[in-house]
Amino acid sequence: MPPFPLSRSANLELALCAAGDAIAQVRAGRSLSDALSGLEAGSSLRAAVQDLAYGTLRNLGLLDAILAELLRKPVKPALHALLLAALYQLRARPRTSHTTVDQTVRAASRLEPAAKGLANAVLRNYLRNADELVARCGSDTAHYSYPQWWIDRVRAAWPQNWESILNAGNLHPPMTLRVNRRRLTAEQYLAKLGERGLAGELISEQAILLERPVPIESLPGFAAGEVSVQDAGAQFAAPLLDVRPRMRVLDACAAPGGKTGHILELADCALTALDNDPERVPRISDNLARLGFSARVACADCTSPAGWWDGGLFDRILLDAPCTASGVVKRHPDIKWLRRESDIAALAAIQSRMLDALWQQLAPGGKLLYATCSVFPQENAQTVESFLARSDGARRLPLAGLEGGQLLPDARQDGFFYALLEKK
């Protein structure tokens, strides 16, 4: 926790302190959401800290390279992280450079009284020589702000699109809504947004892309279940699963329940939702309650059916498998720096075990939708091809509009992979 009081009246000094603390925690291996969890929800300080921390991590490759040019010897992790956040602030808001330097010096003195002079010298040196410093940072990691192994993997997998994929991951994420068609049409909801002075664009039958993100409290009908926040790419899952009324359906890795709710919006079915994270499972029930739906919700491992399965086969199974989340880094920029290349093979092994286990619970003629939010083929096409090679009676069905099943990230959506498998 940051060593200072948290209040609704934020200033840049406190925001820099808290952002530096969060960045240092990420670099030590903690997720950014956990690192920010001690900040008061809805406070102006939290908003300022999020802006600094997310922006710094999106641009960390370049900022790290610049700071390496400016420091003559290593400094403690907390001070290093603070200086990274200050450099981001200087680059993002150059007109406030004087204030940024002053407030960073104050923040540095909270960490180490003797660090005031260093912070002042580093930042003023940057302001005097910014263009020259950036020009000296010529590595791929500095240019794209990803680890080199990540860049190499994306370039090898997507030789025609690799730069656009990397660049999309460094954008600010859009806010997309999913209208609950059991309550109203998307066109009716667009009219409601207009009455609130909010603008949006209909990008699919139920998806509305907002002109700019807003707090969920500002969304008309949100608490009443008329609408949910869900990325446009994630909204492919429920329609692809092709659920019909009265089917037995399993959502095997369901938390926090976005896709679960979407399935129930599309069909009145007997749905079981599982997740093995006890802290996230209650969110499934909360989301369903807001939408006005009910399902059997259990905290369980889908690869160990003895603890939760009643023996009845499912007509449809959604496996939204754990993955590197390499397709959603615009929402979670810490992922770029927390993942290791070895994670890909480890996660692919888990994905394969899940597919093998769940296939035994799928009824003949049933369909299983395999989904990830990854752009790495080893977790996607290669995992599916390997499963098909060892599984009699399994075939992959074509998906209209999704060549190869891969949805690449861009300004409007995150990156996802889908494969629909049918049991003959």
CA distance 33 to 27: 13
Residue type, 124: R
CA distance 246 to 243: 9
Q: Which SS3 state, helix, strand or coil, does residue 212 take?
A: coil
Q: At what angle do helices 97-111 and 77-92 cross, to 10 degrees?
A: 170
To the query of whether residue 323 is one of the catalytic residues in this protein, the response is no
Selection from 241, 300, 305, 295 nearest residue 272 by Cα: 295
In the set 17, 137, 269, 373, the catalytic residue is: 373
**Residue keyed to tokens 């610049």:** 66
Q: Sign of the CA dihedral 303, 304, 306, 310? A: negative
Span between the terminal Cα atoms of the chain, in Å: 54
Note the residue count of the chain.
424
How would you label 199-218 residue by residue, b for 16+ Cβ within 10 Å and e otherwise?
ebeebeebbbbbeeeeeeee
DSSP letters along 7-76, please?
A: -SS--HHHHHHHHHHHHHHHHTT--HHHHTTTSPTT-HHHHHHHHHHHHHHHTHHHHHHHHHHH-SS---
Q: Other CB atoms closer than 10 Å to residue 27's CB: what's the count?
A: 19
CA distance 337 to 204: 33
Give all strands of the β-sheet with 227-229 in edge-to-edge order: 200-202, 207-210, 176-179, 227-229
Q: Which residues contact 318 (CB under 8 A, 6 or more apart)?
A: 237, 238, 241, 249, 250, 251, 252, 254, 259, 263, 368, 369, 371
Q: Which SS3 state, helix, strand or coil, does residue 269 take?
A: coil
Residues marked active site are found at 373
